[in-house]
Structure 1
Amino acid sequence: MFKVKILQLFDSFVLNTVGPYYRRLGKSLLTQGNDMLGSEASDDRLVQCLRQVEAKGHKPQIGDAIFTAPNSVMVGNVILKQNSSIWYGATLRADNNSITVGKNSLIQDNVYIKATKTITVGNNSLVGPNSHLQGCTIGDDAFIGMGSTIKEGAVVQGIVAAGSLVPEGTEVKQGEVWAGSPAKYLRDITPQELQILREYKQELLELAQVHGEETSKNFRQVVIDTDERLIKQQRGNEEEALQKIAELNFPLEYEDEEFIEQRVFMKQQPPMFMDSENLKSQQDQYEQDLSQFSENMQKYSEDYQIYEEAKKYFEQNPQAKANQFAPKSEVPDDKPWSRKY
């Protein structure tokens, strides 16, 4: 009890005295160093998160989004609806007007959206990487190919091919494919292409959920995940051995699992002696232990190989008759291993 009290007093002393002292000392050294450098001085400061930058009394509303990249920038009156996502390097500037991104819509990498007029991106729409949107309207289920530019006043409800430039006031109707610079009507989209685009959007939506979960983790969660991954790597060989035996439908009891765990553990240990004979004997102790059942294991392996050949044969020849393949040998009944199983 006395020891605990001493530790508590020490922690209090560090927290209330030592820590603040060093903090003041650091600030003083920084100020003196900048004074010495003069015009070459640099006053480094922590920059706030750019995902929520307030402008003219409006702050981005991103709580319903499934993923907003840490290096994305949203300024002013930006509204993200349910399951929408803003990917890496994207910039949404709503200094003077609003930007609304609909449900399940994706604004991909390095997209630049500037609200010279109110901008609305509809539901289930996708804006490809490196695209530029300025004062336009994007309808539901629209697709903007990568590197495209949509000018002010344009309305896009269909498909804009990659690298296209949609001029001011242009209307791209639903189901139409436009391409070129300036973009012109090309053709109507086929049902197969429409299905491919829907599947592609769904894949990106699922991927956005993964990225959202990973980028929202705090420091403690990252450490826990790292520990779990290291533990899994350390136990990987043992689990792989047990899984392989289970795939072979090999009968196992508790004693056998313990036997395998011990062998795998011994296999992971470095050899005690580095001379050639001991090194050779220590390299693969798991296989050496199985050598005491060499005859039965060899016959079991042969039968399993026959099974694989037969399976492959009948898959290639579904009309073939059975009884072509038979085990080369049977496990003798007078062996201890056979009697046990």
Structure 2
Amino acid sequence: MTVRFRLLLLGLAAMTAQAQPSSLPAVTLSGTLQTRFSYGQHETLQRTRIGFGVRRARLRVRVRLSERWTFRVQLDGTAPSARFLDAYAIYTPHARWSFRIGRMPSIQPRALGLTSHRYVDAVERPAIAERWGARTIGRDGRDFGVEAAYHHPRGRFILFLHNGDGSWDRLRGNYRASPSNTDVTEGQQRTGIAVSLGGQFYLSEQADIEAGGFVSYNSAGNPNTDHRRYLSYGFHWYWGAKPGSRWFRLKLDGVVVRYEPGQPVLRSSDHLTGIAGLSAVRLHRGAEAFARLEWLEESGAEADRTILTTGFSISPSALQGAPYERQRLTVAYATERGLGQHLLVVQWQLIF
């Protein structure tokens, strides 16, 4: 951990200690630790691997500057060096309207960045969501841009204007040329931008039935897409979005990406299509069993993929009347048709 990073943490801690609940600015710190044990087996290759790891080590900082302005950052410590996942400002001029600018998760499949890691049903998000991120704006589902959102008691509608590439690389998504540069294009050809629309709506007064969708056109042509433009759209229907929230839950997600023809590329994939369905049963107020089945097709791949994930979770915090996600032990088993591979993961989640 660098000296600069340590000083940042010390400064934030001091601000938090000094701030009163009713004072502005006010600083709120929170975090997540997910540790896990994994056992993987590949029958075809006759290989096995076993070991421990840290899936997420997150620190979140929320600075409320005034009644209308808020600043948020999220740091992740699982890479070789600490990195910022989120860094954005929020302006709320009215209870029905909000605006965000910076690097953030916005319009995309609901199962990716719009589902917090705290509420992931199994130990990972659906494969169709992860593949969408890897083949579009980036694996973490973040991008640089400006967002306008209209909020209603029964849902919200969002417009997102963004770079179409969430990479921090200055030659890719993080365009920040200086007037002192001799080439303000930084050697890059003309690049496009992305426009995304989406929304989610609650179909019941308890907000436990949710439906929504999105459409996105990305003309950036970043390396994730083999420098091609694409049109993407998707939908979701959830009956109980969060683990442990209902005695029975159902979730359905679908995504499509259509790439425009471009220059010859190494991969011949011109589309990505996926659908995932999950069902979960609450065994007790502090325990839940789940099963998820996914189908994923990427043209150019040898075959489509069918992935099954099953398991259960136990929440000591829920047994004490606290939120289910606060303390959660999840055991998940995943296998994929035709590959002869198996993965068993035991993960402990702690949120403060």
Question: TM-score normalised by the shorter chain: which range applies?
Answer: under 0.3
Q: Which structure's relative contact order is higher, taking Cα pairs within 8 Å and 6+ residues apart?
A: 2
Query: Greater share of helix residues, 1 or 2?
Result: 1
Q: If you compute each CA radius of gyration, which structure gives the higher value, 1 or 2?
A: 1
Query: Greater share of strand residues, 1 or 2?
Result: 2
Instruction: Give the structure-1-normalised TM-score.
Output: 0.21
